[in-house]
Amino acid sequence: MEMHLLILLHKVSSLMKFLPIRYTFLLLSILITFPVSSQVIERNNTNSGTSRVFTYSIQSTYGTQTSANASPNLKVETEAVLNLQRGSYITNKAGDIGGTTSAVFTASPGGTNVQLTGISADNLFLIDSGSRFRTALSTTTPDGQPSIGQASATATHTMTLTVSDTQTSFYNTLRQNFEGAQ
């Protein structure tokens, strides 16, 4: 806008050379009261959304575990052998006959509960002959100290179900202003 006004003043000043002085004052008074305005355009762009992800995992393990804790004057022996019969199996599946899986989360001040549908774990654990679990603690050379010890040999089965529900949301606003001469 200022550039347009400067160009206009330049043209007026060249005309003023040919005008009598009384018209020059009249022309200048009109230019001084010439209104100047601008136009402001504002644009807002808003985006929002949510995302919810439900995940689960099932892990089943079978095995053996031995452990011992003994004073230095004890000899420790542990052994665990696990043989499974034919027909033993681990089956973890998601989706019922119709293929649907769902989880309903209920939050309360005391914690969160989940009701699962369509997730199952079917484990059959048949011990076969030849399986054995043995521990032995025996004293070594007597040293006058007390002999204290514990030992164990066990078969283990662990099934872990992990359920996660994550919800995120976002809200973005972009505001742009454009200013120009009217």
pLDDT tens digits, 4-36: 555 555 565 665 565 565 565 665 566 565 565
Q: Are 175 and 47 in contact (CB under 8 A)?
A: no
Residues with Cβ within 8 Å of 40's Cβ and at least 6 positions away in sequence, in order, are 177, 178, 179
Percentage of the chain exceeding pLDDT 70: 73
More confident call, 63 vs 11:
63
Report how far residue 123's alpha carbon sits from residue 57's, in angstroms, rounded to the nearest whole number.
Answer: 16
H-helix or E-strand spanning residue 62: strand 38-70
Residue 182, pLDDT score: 57
> How many angstroms separate the Cα of 73 from the Cα of each of 38, 78, 145?
97, 16, 8
Per-residue confidence band for 149, with pLDDT thresholds at 50, 70 and 90: very high
pLDDT at residue 88 is higher than 70:
yes
- 140's tokens: 């070594």
Question: Among the residues of the chain, which ranges form H helices?
Answer: 2-16, 21-32
Least confident stretch, 11-25, 49-63, 68-82, 168-182? 11-25
Q: Which residue has the tokens 């959304």?
A: 49
The type of residue at 142 is P
Rounded to whole angstroms, the Cα distance separating 178 from 41 reads 5
How far is residue 87 CA from its own chain's centroid? 40
Average pLDDT of the chain, as a whole number: 78
